[in-house]
C-alpha cells in the first residue's frame, strides 16, 4: 500500500498487478472514493 502524489495526492493505492491499482481515500477509518485505475 502506498500514498500517492501529484494529481492523486491524498489517495492511497494497492497494486493488483503491474497495470492495475485499487485507489482510494481514507475518511474516518473507512476507504472512500474507491476505484480501479489503469496505470499501464
Residue 24: the pLDDT is: 98
How high is the mean pLDDT of the chain?
A: 95
Options 3.30.70.60, 3.40.50.880, 3.40.630.30, 3.30.2310.20; CATH of 2-38: 3.30.2310.20
Average pLDDT on 4-33 reads 96
DSSP annotation of 10 = T
A 10 A CB-CB count for 24 gives 17
* Confidence band, pLDDT 50/70/90 cuts, at residue 3: very high
pLDDT score of 40 more than 80: no
Average pLDDT on 8-17 reads 96
Please tell me whether residue 6 adopts helix, strand or coil conformation: helix
Find residue 17's DSSP bridge partners: none
- 3-class DSSP string for 14-39: EECCCCEEEEEEEECCEEEEEEEEEC
Amino acid at each position: 500500500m502506498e500514498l500517492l502524489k501529484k494529481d492523486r495526492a491524498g489517495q492511497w493505492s494497492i497494486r493488483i498487478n503491474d497495470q492495475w491499482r485499487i485507489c482510494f481515500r481514507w475518511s474516518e477509518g473507512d476507504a472512500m472514493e474507491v476505484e480501479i485505475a489503469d496505470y499501464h
